[in-house]
Chains A and B, each alone.
Chain A
Amino acid sequence: MAGAKEIRTKIGSVKNTQKITKAMEMVAASKMRRTQQRMAEAKPYAQKIRGVIGHLFQANPDYRHPFLEEREVKRVGYIVITSDRGLCGGLNVNVFRKLLADLRGWNEKGVETDLCLIGAKGVQFFRRLKVNVVGAASHLGEDPHLAELLGAIQVMLDAYSEGKVDRVFLVHNEFVNTMTQSPTIDTLLPVEPLDKDELTEYWDYIYEPDATELLDIVLMRYIESQVYRGTVENVACEMAAKMVAMKAATDNAGKMIDQLQLDYNKARQAAITQELSEIVSGAAAV
């Protein structure tokens, strides 16, 4: 019966693991709903501010803000958003793969790159590689606040204003739906102006203090809101990916238990048969 007993212990341990993955799946599912809501809440601000920028840009076509100007690219910056924790499938790996391909592309063109990492996984990953990391922020939790991101954003904005980097990208996961998250790389700076067709009639604001100063503030806030939205979206992706990964793990554990149960029954049956045959042969001998 030794074989059967071992199998029984194994079944017990797999069952325990299954309970854990099941619990993690449910936790991720409930958190996902909350993070998705937060993602939706960040939308109106971004839209409104985008509208204001579009208008400012139309009304002052002659004013060139450095944030709007396309420069020759000698060095680029990336703000990379990753999750803090693992156990979420290929979420972070997909981001790294896409980013590394991009970095290689710049490298071949002789363009240098700076990275600013948000999230512990990114920090862990890029520590092993020879890359230039200028800023980092991690352990933001499931409810990231803009205040915690400001430092990382400021580093890149400073570098851009000083002319150290000529373009800034934002790398994060895009929430397509619960089953799909796709890594995306968006251009953060220079800010792409809106289409000219959108302005139907000409009117202008009264500015207080003046237009250029306001444009400065508005652009800063816009970029901050973009990074914040990216971070919140990435958290939603993390939860969705975790839920899917944990569901797969739970299903696999179930299959494993079925197989082990079958093996256990076979082993038990074999033991009984053996015992019987021993008794029968013993009786025959007497």
Chain B
Amino acid sequence: MSTMHVDIVSAEGEIYSGEAEQVVAPARMGDVGIKPRHAALLTALRPGEVRVQLPNEGEELFFYVTGGILEVQPHVVTVLADSALHGDQLDEEAADKARQAAEAAMAGATEKSDIAEAQEQLIEARARFRAAQKLKGKR
């Protein structure tokens, strides 16, 4: 049986590279199964599982992707996996955060120093410790 080459890459590194008999990916319009010599296809992925069936005795590998793009050429399948969650709301939130960081930084004194950060962590750790102690007492 013929095989095809599968690459799963994300911006932060290569995840998998090897031969496969079949790939099943969660495309935006529904799961797609790709066999060797599939027509060239380009589709967006939704969060889900990419299944890669290896040539020997139907062994399967599973990869979770948070989204991305699937590119299919007759003998090469490439999954360009996202390394971060995307979504209009999430993206906008992140952008707002960056804008606020800029304002805070330009205002001067409010920029987080290492000490301020350490103190914050200390306060959080203390609060957690206290909460844990309370729980212990109840039991």
Residues of chain A touching chain B, judged by Cβ–Cβ distance below 8 Å, are: 38, 41-42, 44-46, 48-49, 52, 56, 116-117, 120, 123-124, 126-127, 133-139, 145-147, 150-152, 154-155, 158, 203-209, 213-214, 217-218, 221, 224-225, 228-229
Identify the closest chain A residue to B85 (Cβ). Answer: A147
Interface of B is mostly: mixed
Beta-carbon contact of A206 and B102 below 8 Å:
no
Which of B13, B40, B99, B117 sits near A38, CB closer than 8 Å? B13
With A117-B102, A133-B105, A209-B44 in contact, is A145–B84 under 8 Å at CB? yes
Q: Please report the C-alpha to C-alpha distance between residue A117 and residue B102 in the assembled complex, in whole angstroms.
A: 8
Q: Does B12 contact A (CB under 8 A)?
A: yes
Interface of A is mostly: helix
Beta-carbon contact of B13 and A147 below 8 Å:
no
24 contacts between A and B (CB under 8 A): A41-B14, A42-B11, A45-B80, A49-B80, A56-B42, A134-B99, A135-B98, A135-B102, A146-B84, A147-B85, A150-B84, A150-B95, A151-B101, A154-B91, A154-B92, A154-B98, A155-B95, A205-B71, A206-B42, A208-B44, A214-B69, A217-B44, A217-B69, A221-B82
Identify the closest chain B residue to A48 (Cβ). Answer: B78
Q: Please report the C-alpha to C-alpha distance between residue A137 and residue B103 in the assembled complex, in whole angstroms.
A: 11
Beta-carbon contact of B11 and A45 below 8 Å:
yes
Minimum CB–CB distance from B18 to chain A (whole Å) comes to 14
Residues of chain B touching chain A, judged by Cβ–Cβ distance below 8 Å, are: 7, 9-14, 27-29, 32, 39-44, 68-69, 71-72, 78, 80, 82-85, 91-99, 101-102, 104-106, 108, 111-112, 117
Minimum CB–CB distance from A76 to chain B (whole Å) comes to 17
Which of A120, A133, A152, A225 sits near B11, CB closer than 8 Å? A225
Beta-carbon contact of B13 and A145 below 8 Å:
no
Q: Across chains A and B, which 10 residue pairs bring their CB atoms closest together, nearest first?
A: A151-B98, A151-B94, A154-B95, A41-B13, A147-B84, A135-B98, A208-B43, A136-B102, A205-B42, A136-B101
Beta-carbon contact of A127 and B102 below 8 Å:
no
Residues of A within 8 A of B68 (CB): 221
Minimum CB–CB distance from B97 to chain A (whole Å) comes to 5
Residues of A within 8 A of B99 (CB): 134-135, 151, 155
Q: Please report the C-alpha to C-alpha distance between residue A81 and residue B70 in the assembled complex, in whole angstroms.
A: 30
Beta-carbon contact of B78 and A206 below 8 Å:
no
Task: Given A41-B13, A155-B99, A214-B44, output 20 extra A-B contacts at Cβ < 8 Å.
Answer: A44-B14, A45-B10, A48-B78, A52-B69, A117-B102, A120-B111, A123-B111, A127-B106, A135-B99, A137-B101, A154-B95, A204-B40, A206-B41, A207-B41, A208-B27, A208-B28, A214-B42, A218-B69, A221-B11, A225-B11
